[in-house]
Every structure is written in C-alpha cells, then in structure tokens.
Structure 1
Amino acid sequence: MTTSETEAASAGGPAGPKPEPRQGPGLASELVRAGTVGLIAAFVGFSSSFAIVLEGLTKVGASRAEAASGLMALSVAMGACAIFLSLRLRMPISVAWSTPGAALLAGSAAVDGGFAAAVGAFLVAAALIVVTGLWKPLGRWVSAIPKPLANAMLAGILLPLCLAPAKAVQEKPAVGLAIVVVWAAVGTFKKLYAVPAAVVVAIVLITATTHISAADLGPLWPKPVLVTPDFTAAAVIGIALPLYVVTMASQNIPGIAVLNVNGYEPEPGPLFGWTGAFGLASAPFGGHAVNLAAITAALCADENAGPDPRKRYRAAAIGGGAYVLLGLGAGAAVAFVGAAPPTLIEAVAGLALLGALGNSLVGAVTDPGDREAAVVTLVVTVSGVQFFGISGAFWGLLAGGALYAAKRRLPTK
C-alpha cells in the first residue's frame, strides 16, 4: 500500500482512482495546471454568489460590518477546510458556503432577537450537520446513488452555467466574443492553456472597462466581528432547520455525488462532520454554513486538474488557499468582482466546465436501461424547480430515483 493509500484509509475512505500511466506534461506543468484550475474554482465560487451571501446575512439582521465579517469567516473556514481535507485524503475535496442556504436567508425576514438569534440558528444548523456525519446509514445511502442518476444530476447542475458563454456573447458581444475566441484559439493549439487564457483576457477587459477607486476598495482586511449567539425557538424552527435541510440536500449530497462520478469514493460521514465543524467555527463571526461544493468540485475533480487522478487534490488545496486569501482581502475582492458584469464571470466558468458536462452526459445515457430515469433526473434538475427551499438537484435525484426503482420492481414488457 502506498503512502497516499495509507493516509486515505486512515482517514476513513478509499484512496480514490488508480493512477493512470505517467504520460504527458512534467511536474512543473502539472502544478501549473492544478494551480490554474484551483484558482479558477475559487474565483468562480466566490464571485458567483458572494452577493447572495451578503444579502442573506443582511436580511436576517446583520449590520454591514457583521455581514463583511461573515463573508470573511466563511471564505477562510471553507478554504481551510478544503486544504485540510484534500491533503488528508489526497482527493480533490472542494468546500463552499451554502449558496441555497444564503438564498433562503435572503428570502427571510429578521427574527426576534436580531442577528444574535440568527447566529444561534447558524450554530444549531452546523451542529446538525456534524451529527449527520456521525450517522453511518446516511453515508451508505449516499454511496448507493446509481451512477447514471448521479451523472445526470451533475449534468443538470452544470448545464445552466455552460450556457453562459453564449449568453455573454449575446449580451456583451465584443467582450464575450473576445473571451470565447481566445479560449477556442488557444485550445486548438494547447488545450491545457485554453481556460487560463480566457481568464486572463476576462480580467484584463474588466480592469480596462471598470474604474475602481481606493474608496471603493475600503479596508483590505475586514475586522472579524464576534457575535454572542442567542438561541430562540423561532430562529431554530425558522432558520436552523430549513438551513440544515437545504444545505444537506442541495450541497452535501450533490457534492458527494460529484466526487463519485469522477471516481472518488470517500466515506461521506467524515466529510459532513468536518464541514459542519468548520461551520461551527465560522458561525460566531457571522458565517451561515460551510459544506461540500458541487460545481467547483467538478472543476477540481476532472481531467482539467491533471492527467493523474491521484494528484488532482492539489487543485482543491490551491483553491482552498485562494479562498483564504479572498476572505482576508475581502474588501478588494468584493469591489473588483462586484464591478465585473456577472455574465463575463459566468462565461469563463462555463467554458471551464464544458468538459465535465460532456463526461457527465455520456455517463448518464450510456446504459439504455437506465437512460429514461437519468433523463428525468436531468430535466428536473435543470428546470430549477424548488419546493420548501430545496433546489432542483435534490428533486431531480428523487424523481429519477423513483423511476429507477420502479423499473427494477415492475416486470418489463
């Protein structure tokens, strides 16, 4: 057993995919590739939803300073968690804040007790995630998700973002087309550098067309604000329980599925437990929830992060480091990303995820017997339907799983 296998086994999960024959770029090129993907994952993850996080925290009573503190706490906690888990398991474990949880908060009203009561609810939700990590039947259930359905759910999650390049060309023809053309041209000669080239072009164009003053940047390092929690029944029922449900259903379960689709099979329980623990650490400073990532997990777990699956953990670890830096420099990051047109940032992410989308579509429909259930999963997931604040990814998996089970119970004609 290799050192990586020993470390992974001691952490409670398999070591991941077997190494591929060593071919292609050397160590330096592999590190550049992993670093580029990790930085893209962090940039995309932060920029695509930080505004929702700020809005959600504000809606439940946070002041501007408390909301900035919460954003910083979340960024540092999820970055540190990604570094810790990726290096410990030697797998590309990407960690994020709960975007659906933030959306849930954004649609809520301030509860009695103000932000202190909301922080108490954040602590309860994080504690419930830790408890879930200790409940082994859930881990076995997650591991039993059929691969075609997991692939279909992943495709449904990725498809809307992969449409972004076309939308960017329509909304901002000159800039959007420049990003796409550079990506295509560079990819024709060197696929490895296609997405990094598109990122560089996007940053240059955003910088050239946007004026950001020193006053806009504000303090580079927001001050952490420690909030004494207040535990109230109203906040637990109205915030903690819904936040726990949407985080597990819309983030942690899809996050495990994404890893499984890409050949990594860690034991789910410890991952849930550790993300919950880092969530507990961030909550007193305003962080609402830390959990496994799904979309950025696809970036770090597929071949874009390197030819050898056993070394792709570097991308997730580097992405975690970038999250920490974004959190510590939240003032500048928020100003720059907030000034950028969202369609351009999404366009870069969509280009980076095209390969993952293609792989997941193939995995979803290859087996004719499972194709119909997989398509149902895909359609419901991509539809964006939500019930009880839970996103379409969960309902897609539920609908496809019901059809999948029915086909195996009923006799075929």
Structure 2
Amino acid sequence: MNPIHASKMSANMRWSCLAIVPLMLLSAFAAQASESKDNDVIFSDFTLNIGDSISVGNYQAELVEVQSVKDGLVVMHIKKIGGGLDEQRALLQNNANDFNGGSDSEGITLTVIDIFDDQSAKVRVEYQRSLGTARKRTSEKPRTPLDVPNLLVQKSFDKDQISIGDDVEATISVKNVGTGPASNIKIEDIPPLPEFSYKAGYPPRINQNLEPGESDSAIYIMSAVKEGSIRVPAVQVSYTDSKKNVRSNNSEPFNVVINPKSKPDLQITLTPSGPIPNGGKGVLNISLVNDGKASATRIEISAYINPADGLVAEGLEKSFFEIMPGKEENYSAQLLGEKAGNYTVHLRASFQGGDEAMFKEIETEVTVQEREYKYIYLLLIVPVAFIFGWLYRRYKEYKY
C-alpha cells in the first residue's frame, strides 16, 4: 500500500473517533437527565372520607378510621398490588410516614395534613414522578351515620321585666341532639354578673352523661341589685364523645334591662251617693286600685271628718293585707247626717312598698241638707188660695 494513502486513512479514522465521542457523551447525559426527571418527588393532597382511597402506581392507601380528632390519629390501610406491602398503620397528624422506603426510594410517603371530624381528613401523598399520577377513589359503600354527640345549650330568665330587688330564676338546659353519647359534661357559666347577687343553686350543675335524645337542666336564683342594660354572656358546655374527643357548644348571648326598683301606686277613689237629708242616711263608696308594678302590703285606711260633729260614718276605716299590681279592693261606708252643713271626709292609706313605708291621702265633700217640714208649704198656700177666691168672687159681682 502506498504510504501516503495509508497515512490519509489513519487520519480519517482518528477524526471519526473524535466525532463519535461527543455523541456518546450527549446520549449519556440525556439518559441521565431522563432518569433524574423520573426520580423527581412530587405530591398531591386529597380530602378523604372513611372508605375513600388514594391510588398511585401499584399503591393504594385507604382511610379506615379517624381514631382521635383531639390527638390527631388516623388509621390507614396501605397495600401494593401484586404483593410486597399490606399494612394497616395509625398515622399521627403532621408526621410523615414512609412505605417501601418512602418517596426517596420507589415507595410512597403519607402525611395527615388536617382532620376535619370523625369521618374525614386531608392526606398528602408524596411519590416519584415515574409512578404516574395520584388519583382519589371514592368508596362505593354507604357512609355509616356519625356516632357523634351534639349538645344544644340554652340559657333563659323567667322574667322579661326585671327591677331592682326582683328575684330572677336562671335556667340552663342541655339536650343531646346528636347520634352518640356525651360524657364528662361540664357547664361554664362564668363570670358571675355584678348586676345580680346569687342566692341559691350557683354554679349550675347537670348530669355528666347524656345519651342521644336525653336532656337535663339546672336552675339558680339571683336578685337584681343594680339597674341598667346588661349583656348576658353565652354559656359554654364541654363534653367528650365515645372516642374521648373533647367538644364544646355555646348558648346565644342576650340582653336584659334592670329597671329601677318597682313600687306600688295606690289610687284611691271616693264616691258619695249624693246629698244626705238631715237625719237621713247615705253611702260613701271607696275603691283602691294598685297601678304600680309592685304589691302594696299591710294597707291601713284611717279617716276623719271635718267638722267632726254633724256627720257620722260607720265602716270608713279598714285594713288589707295585700293589693297586687293591677288588682283592686272596694268597700262602702254608711253615713248618717245629724246636722245640716258641708263636710269634708279625709282618707289616708298607709302601706308598705317592699321595704319602704308609703302613704296616699284623698278627700271628698259630703253635704247634709236642711230638714224639710211637710206642712210649712200650707202657710203659703192658704193666703194665696184666700186671695184667689176673693178675686174670683169680685169678678163674679162686677160681671153681673
């Protein structure tokens, strides 16, 4: 072979080898990049109800039970189709749990992000991109009813109108309107209201355990001591369910107004029957009406007549134990006129309005007429008749 020709062939082979090397390096880098992309860790979040599951690759993770909302415990069943993994594990909220080496290997990592109630939770699944896309599978089984208590709490007063000094009954009622038993029930009705003094039954206590549909109540008594508009705060009831989860409910707050102290307002009316003839009799009707908002008690009616002589009254003074608000008492006194003239009857009612002594006075006029003489009119009639007869006779005489 020609030496020059051999030298050219050798040079061409060297250039070919140098061209192949970059191509091989590029292929290696591309393969490595593709493999690195497939090994990227990605995640997806799913809200699961009991029985729902997450599928990614050959892995399935099913929500079996919310064991404790309070402690953040959820039970899940994880398996790999084709074998290699079949495990039921309790997962603690916000703690990552690896299966088959976790997402850094060829397995998956599960984390409970949030627990909504006894039937649902949010779960995050982390996995390598090569496993495909994670999907949620909804359970075809009918959901079982929640075995959860729910306490309805109410607070009320027995009066809409409250005044200082009034006793008020506060009632706290609790009813389990849920589907599960409630235990360790506690009522928190604090702080005490400064507008009231607490007399009996405070703090309130009710049955510590209530089955579904059961109810209980507590009553305590207060006395209003300070007037004004107040906001009665909500009552809180705390309890636990069958899984020892602590729950609580509140009543609705409401407003009440404490008015100034209620007082009786005794109105007295005197109604005489009319003028009384001298030596005759008459009647004085007395009416007592309580227009106030409190009872008048220990009512004593005293009376005097001015002038003292000439008019006699029987049954004018009287006493009553109590006249309640809106109620009235009526009675009558007999009057005897002994001397003509005008008389003033004074009436004074003294009574108790709570712890305060009160009184009311009133008066009326009664007239005793002059005595009538039956034959006094004859003294006038006889002269008139005589004059009329004389005039009539004279008329006859002049006529004829």
> What is the TM-score of this pair, normalised by structure 1?
0.16
**Structure 1 or 2: more strand by fraction:** 2
Structure showing the higher helix proportion among its residues? 1
Larger RCO, structure (CA 8 Å, separation 6 or more): 1
Greater Rg over alpha carbons, structure? 2
Q: TM-score, normalised by structure 2?
A: 0.16
